Amino acid sequence: MKRAVSVSAPPPEEDRYRLLVDAITDYAIYMLDPDGVVTSWNAGAHRFKGYEAHEIIGQHFSRFYTDADRLADRPAIALETAEREGRFEGEGWRVRKDGSRFWANVVIDPIRTPSGELLGFAKITRDLTERKLAEESLRLSEEQFRLLVQGVSDYAIYMLDATGHVSNWNPGAQRIKGYTPEEIIGRHFSAFYTEDDREAGEPQRALETAEREGRFEKEAIRVRKDGTRFWANVVIDPIRDATNRVIGFAKITRDVTERKATQRALDEAREQLFQAQKLEAIGQLTGGIAHDFNNLLMVVLGSLELMRKRLPGDSSLMPLLENAVQGAQRGASLTRRMLAFARRQNLDPQPTGVQALVADMNDLMQRSLGPAFSIDTTFPNRLPPAMTDANQLEAALLNLVVNARDAMPQGGAIAITGREETVAEDGALKPGRYVVIAVTDNGEGMDPETLARASDPFFTTKGVGKGTGLGLSMVQGLAEQSGGRLVLTSRMGEGTTAELWFPVAAEGAPAADRATAAPEPLADGRHLSVLAVDDDPLVLNNTAAMLADLGHTVFEADSAAEALDILKEYRIELVLTDHAMPQMTGAQLAAMVNARWPAVPIILATGFAELPPGTGAGLPRLAKPFTQDELARAIAEASPVS
């Protein structure tokens, strides 16, 4: 027995068309009555224009037009054209419900009865915004490129057809080769070659190479319209169509006859830019990590100091503790040297004991050199202090020692000596007494040409990626800013000597002893209520512990906002704040404190070697990492007895 199968009757034909139109979402398809009022609305129209059917049916379709188009009566013109000519098609900006615009392709067809009576209009709209923007972008790009090519006068930029005949010509080509566009377009480009090159087939070989290898480049003699010759740099690139068939060539020619030296200078300038960018990146990286690294060192140093005060006198533990303190102090010193080099701080000339400075640096320099090198120092018994920036001098000496190491790849001895010289008449130096520090190696040495350029900015013989080329120029800058000079002597195979000349410090000025300067004790033994502010909890805890150990009452805040709340609630006698904090820096906090509590002294702690100009002007600063003695001294100086 066969089972009866129920089959639904298909919808009427007009319903099928309606379902089809309603299912289309990529086109807005709707009807207008003869006056332009919307009478139907499909899903695509809703998607494009944003109106629900009940919102738009019964409304005039002119609301989709811009104000300018309505003032120009474009909606009525579109309907009149469709009625008169049987079709209207156009593109233009249209307006969505939310007021945004889109680029639309519009087709309007009249709908008539078999007798020809107009029933209304069928309107199909397509959103072509992406295509319009792409076309506009392409047009602008092509226009910019055309203007670029036509605006170039130092290069001949023109095209050849597939057989080598000139098809266009820019002003640079006319200036370099002498032909006007009317004179050269349509002629074969071999006219620019010498007779010998034409006979040797150079023009055709150039095109064949460009087609085969994708590019042809050469420097050779070319001929101008007037017969004069010039040295040209020539580049030819093939132009292909969508099927990869060569349809022509792009040709760029540059006159380098009188500009080869300029080209070399340009190449050097580009290399200088690269080296400057590299140095800037190093400086930014160093500055970025300095704050966090100094914070870590500060936590280590502060904790070790407190442990040293509180641990029992165990003879086996104390040497280990002292070693840890010295190691952290060396790390802090290394960070300061890195910042001094990367930041190129302004000089702070002070009477500097050169012999003591070199002795303090000896371990650092030896570690920088490695076991294959030795350092020999020779100084007279009495060498007067030099007038220079001690931190910058350290960086300069370290740089000279590393240069000496690089000049002796198999190892060797480096000599650092000092002496005093008196200058009577010298065009490079003012008359007077000078301290001379010499760094000598017995390495490869330099030829006269290299020696003459050795201290030029960005000049380096170490190869790409192995040196910034700024070392000697910065050493020279230090010496000259200090009122002295850098003198280099060298011979190939005999080594190099770099002499730093610095003026002798004024009589009676004591040499700075930065390594062993003792802190000033607190004069009155006062105990203050101190607000410590730092966004790093480790540093904040460590600072609070040192303050408490000094006998102060400590309030802690991990942000500037919390610090302001504490200041409102408690009587604070001194604020010690970190500078680099999120939302509000220490300098900004200090400005607010000064405005509301002008009697409260503020100390700005920072791990950076220098702050931006104008930041925290006039505020006492405490460099991170700081010891408890340095903290005590800073508090005593910031809050003098009234």
Please write the tens of the pLDDT for every residue from 315-334. Answer: 677 777 777 777 777 676 65
pLDDT tens digit sequence for 171-219: 888 888 999 999 999 999 999 999 999 999 999 999 999 999 999 999 9
- Whether the pLDDT of residue 92 is over 80: the answer is yes
What pLDDT is recorded for position 274? Answer: 74
Report if residue 393 sits inside a domain: yes
Q: What is the model's pLDDT at position 269?
A: 75
**First and final C-alpha spacing in the chain:** 118
- Quote the percentage of the chain above a pLDDT of 70: 77
pLDDT at 17: 52
Q: Are residues 32 and 115 in the same domain?
A: yes
At 513 the pLDDT is 47
- In this prediction, residue 261 carries a pLDDT of 64
**Out of 148-152, 188-192, 441-445, 609-613, which region has the weakest mean confidence (pLDDT)?**
609-613
**What angle do the packed helices 586-596 and 560-569 form, to 10 degrees?**
20
State mean pLDDT over 584-595. 91
Residue 493 region by backbone torsions, left for phi larger than 0, else alpha for psi between -120 and 50, else beta:
left
Q: Which residue has the higher pLDDT, 511 or 186?
A: 186
Query: Does the pLDDT of residue 95 top 60, yes or no?
Result: yes
pLDDT band at 456 (very low <50, low <70, confident <90, very high): low
CATH code of the domain containing 462 = 3.30.565.10
Looking at the structure, do residues 448 and 369 belong to the same domain, yes or no? yes
Top pLDDT among 156 and 524 is at 156
* Total number of domains in the chain: 4
- Say whether both 227 and 190 belong to one domain: yes
Q: CB of 446 within 8 A of CB of 490?
A: yes
Instruction: Please give the single-letter amino acid code of residue 152.
Output: V
CA distances to 28, 39, 349 from 105, in Å: 10, 20, 75
Does any domain span residue 59? yes
Residue 494 scores a pLDDT above 70: yes
For residues 86 and 168, state if they share a domain: no
Residue 583 and residue 456 share a domain: no
> Does 416 reside within a domain?
yes
Does 287 fall in a domain?
Answer: no
Where is average pLDDT lowest: 104-113, 131-140, 207-216?
Answer: 131-140
Query: How far apart are the C-alpha atoms of 332 and 227, rounded to whole Å?
Result: 71
User: Does a structural domain hold residue 508?
Assistant: no
- Among 8-22, 88-102, 201-215, the range scoring the smallest mean pLDDT is 8-22
Predicted pLDDT of residue 71: 94
Q: In whole angstroms, what separates CA 641 from the centre of its chain?
A: 48
The most confident of 74-83, 147-156, 295-304, 512-521, by mean pLDDT: 74-83
CB 169 within 8 A of CB 179: yes
Is 263 part of a structural domain of the chain?
no
- 543 pLDDT above the threshold of 50: yes
Domain region containing 594:
529-638
484 and 570 in one domain?
A: no
Question: How far apart are alpha carbons 288 and 276 in whole angstroms?
Answer: 18
Q: pLDDT > 90: what percent of the chain?
A: 35
Instruction: Assess if residue 598 is contained within a domain.
Output: yes
Average pLDDT of the chain is 81
Judge whether 114 lies within some domain. Answer: yes
Whole-angstrom distance, CA of residue 86 vs CA of residue 84: 6
> Closest by alpha carbon to 39, among 23, 49, 20, 53?
53
Question: Which residue among 258, 274, 300 closes a domain?
Answer: 258
Who has greater pLDDT, 621 or 454?
A: 621
User: How far is CA 251 from each of CA 155, 171, 178, 214, rounded to the nearest angstrom?
Assistant: 10, 14, 16, 13
| 407 and 494 share one domain | yes
575 has a pLDDT exceeding 90:
yes
Q: Which pLDDT value is given to residue 523?
A: 44
Are 166 and 128 contained in the same domain?
no
Distance of alpha carbon 251 from alpha carbon 349, whole angstroms = 59
Position 278 scores a pLDDT of: 63
Mean pLDDT of 340-352: 62
Long-range contacts at 204-207 (CB < 8 A, ≥ 24 apart): 204/164, 206/234, 206/236, 207/160, 207/164, 207/236, 207/249
Of 258, 276, 296, the residue that ends a domain is 258
Q: Is residue 168 domain-shared with residue 125, that is, in the same domain?
A: no
The answer, yes or no, to whether residue 384 has pLDDT greater than 70, is yes
pLDDT at site 607:
65
The enclosing domain of 202 has a CATH number of 3.30.450.20
Q: State the pLDDT at residue 390.
A: 85
Please tell me the predicted confidence (pLDDT) of residue 438.
Answer: 93
Judged by average pLDDT, the poorest of 83-87, 258-262, 381-385 is 258-262
This prediction's pTM: 0.41
Q: Do residues 429 and 491 both lie within one domain? A: yes
Task: Express each pLDDT in 29-61 by its tens digit.
Answer: 899 999 999 999 988 888 888 899 899 999 999
Q: In this predicted structure, what is the pLDDT of residue 464?
A: 43
Co-location of 181 and 233 in the same domain: yes
At which of 202, 235, 258 does a domain end? 258
Residue 136 has pLDDT above 70, yes or no: yes
Same domain, 540 and 424: no
Q: Secondary structure of 210-227 in the HEC alphabet?
A: HHHHCCEEEEEEEECCCC
pLDDT bracket for residue 506 (50, 70, 90): confident
